[in-house]
Amino acid sequence: MRKVALALAALILWFSPAAANAQAGVAFSQVTVKLWPEYDRPAMLVIYDFVLTSAPDEVALRIPAAAGEPYVVAVGPTPAAVSDQNVQYETRPAGDWLEVTIRLRPDSRAIRLEYYDPSLIQEDHTRRYHYEWPADYAVEALRVSFQSPAGASNLLLHPPLSEARTGSDGLRYYEETFGPLEAGETFSLSIAYQKASDDLSIASLPIQPSGPLEQRSSRNLAWNTILPWVLGILGFLLVLGGLTGIFQRQQAKRPKSPRRRKRESSAEPLYCHQCGKRALPGDRFCRACGTRLRRNEE
């Protein structure tokens, strides 16, 4: 009976995740755990960066079942060069956990895994969260980083994370390195803080440019200010010149009316050569004798 119990215990141990993974010879030289509460969702954003000591065909990682499907699964040669393109993985429920089996490429030594854990407890102004390292594999160094949310106060971390710094985003970060940890050796972190509002940290972050801004001199700024006016004036002159040319061409096409020959009036009074009677301007015949008046015409 004792032999049967020992055999059953060995069988259970063999099929447990930690033992199965340890048998596969999977280990991590470094694991970075980033905990960002209330960052862009009212939950705990957990970001894992794994660095493998070897390159196995696949790795099975566990996340809380309450988190559901992982948000990001990416692989690559280094943590800075991971990509989520064409990554093959599958998930399987395992009690309170969700097992994520990731297929790796020959050059894949780094894995990034992200998920949102809804287990962040909110009671009035108090926030509490308990993180637990699954301990399925041995890890030489476990780096834990906590991002204090915007507006948080009275932060309590157990065990404490001694290294504190302010990031470029203006948020406070607390970090500590633990390890080495053997496969099956657990690690947990308890978090508590006060926060009066439900505002997310991402709403308080300054807007950053996607690339370096080009430094422009005052001469360039002045020219850029004047250039639109210069172009506008030139455009107006071109339009005005075009309209003037069209008007002149239309005037040139119109037929010219013949000019009437003007008769020059004599500077001296005109008298009838027959009777000597003085004629009025415009008379062709003498008003007294009816004789045709002699007048110079052009």
CA distance 82 to 4: 47
pLDDT at 166: 95
C-alpha distances (whole Å) from 87 to each of 47, 83, 188 are 17, 8, 29
Q: Which CATH architecture has domain 9-199?
A: Sandwich (2.60)
The model's pTM is 0.64
Cβ-based neighbour number of residue 39 at 10 Å:
21
| Beta-carbon contacts of residue 181 (< 8 Å; ≥ 6 apart) | 133, 135, 138, 139, 142, 187
Write down the residue that tokens 């004047």 correspond to. 226
Amino acid code (one letter) for 191: I
CA distance 191 to 210: 33
Give the neighbor-by-neighbor strand order of the sheet with 126-133: 121-123, 126-133, 187-195, 152-158
Amino acid code (one letter) for 19: A
What are the backbone angles phi and psi of residue 128, rounded to the nearest 5°?
-140, 145
State the DSSP string of 111-148. EEEEEEETT-EEETTEEEEEEEE---SEES-EEEEEEE
Sketch the domain layout of the chain as residue ranges: 9-199, 269-298
**Tens-digit pLDDT string for the chain (298 aa):** 444 444 444 444 444 444 444 445 799 999 999 999 999 999 999 999 999 998 899 999 999 999 999 999 999 999 999 999 999 999 999 999 999 999 998 889 999 999 999 999 999 999 999 999 999 999 999 999 999 999 999 999 999 998 899 999 999 999 999 989 999 999 999 999 999 999 999 998 876 655 565 555 555 556 677 878 888 888 888 888 888 878 777 777 666 555 554 444 445 677 777 777 777 877 777 877 777 777 665 4
Write down the residue that tokens 């300054």 correspond to. 206
What are the backbone angles phi and psi of residue 175, rounded to the nearest 5°?
-140, 155
Amino acid code (one letter) for 133: W
What are the backbone angles phi and psi of residue 292, rounded to the nearest 5°?
-65, 130
Preceding omega of 180 cis (within 30 degrees of 0)? yes
| Residues β-bridged to residue 128 | 121, 192
CA distance 44 to 147: 10
CB 159 within 8 A of CB 207: no
> Could you tell me the two tokens for 228?
């639109």
> Could you tell me the two tokens for 252?
């040139």
